[in-house]
Amino acid sequence: MAATAPPSPLIPTPTPPETASLRNPIFARIRIAYSSDAPLLHKLIYQLAAYHRRTHIFSSTESSLSATLSNSQPFQSITIFLLEVSPTPFPDVPVGYEPPITRILNLDLPIVDPESQEFGSGGEAVVVGFVLFYPKYGILLGKAGFHVAGIYVRECYRKKGFGKMLLSAVAAQAVKMGYGEVEWFVFNWNVNAIGFYKKMGAEFHEQTTICRLAHDALQACGSLS
């Protein structure tokens, strides 16, 4: 009878390093913007105007933003969600009117932000972007909703989930308030934004044309009454 082969030596299962699940974690927070945030918001809105090729009509000022935010009740008038990030957790304390939304994102690579000092918002926090929205009424739907007037994420933070966080925050607030829709406009040339919105499940109305009265045309039309 052949001898029984000795048992194979036990090979311990390798233990993955503790940092494997969080390669490059970054802490994100969405909160309501207040008048004290006007200087940072003014810079962000100018960058949005540059991205949309509209700096020639940019006339917003820090003072006008501060006054608007001071006189606006969140969700009943103009509201701005501000998105901040930090390499360390945000303090677990109330911030303003509503509790902030916090997330931990695990990135493949760390983000190099050349404007981190310019957009610093206190401590290690840096402002990434914003979304501005206000109530509307869907006359055919028969329900109130939100109109998003502007959403923007700074260039080095794009395609990392931050735009999705901002738009989702507005949608969640609409659902919370029993609203029926969230709508916004997008330029036809902005294929990146269009692709992003389609992934978010947005419907597109190709036959709609935006009409606007502004400046001299607004004054002239108003004088007809």
Question: Catalytic site residues?
Answer: 197
Give CA–CA dist 119/117, Å, rounded: 5
Calculated CA dihedral for residues 138, 83, 32, 87, nearest 10 degrees? 150
- Return the structure tokens found at 86: 């930090």
Instruction: Give DSSP secondary structure letters for 46-87.
Output: HHHHHHTT-GGG----HHHHHHHHHT--TTTS-EEEEEEEES
To the nearest 10 degrees (0 to 180), the angle between helices 62-70 and 38-51 is 120
Of 200, 113, 197, 195, which is closest to residue 157 (Cα–Cα)? 113
Angle at 69 between CA 171 and CA 114, to 5 degrees: 75
Give CA–CA dist 149/147, Å, rounded: 6
Instruction: Give how far Cα 211 sits from Cα of 88, 156, 190, Å.
Output: 45, 33, 19
160 Cβ partners below 8 Å, 6+ apart?
A: 105, 107, 111
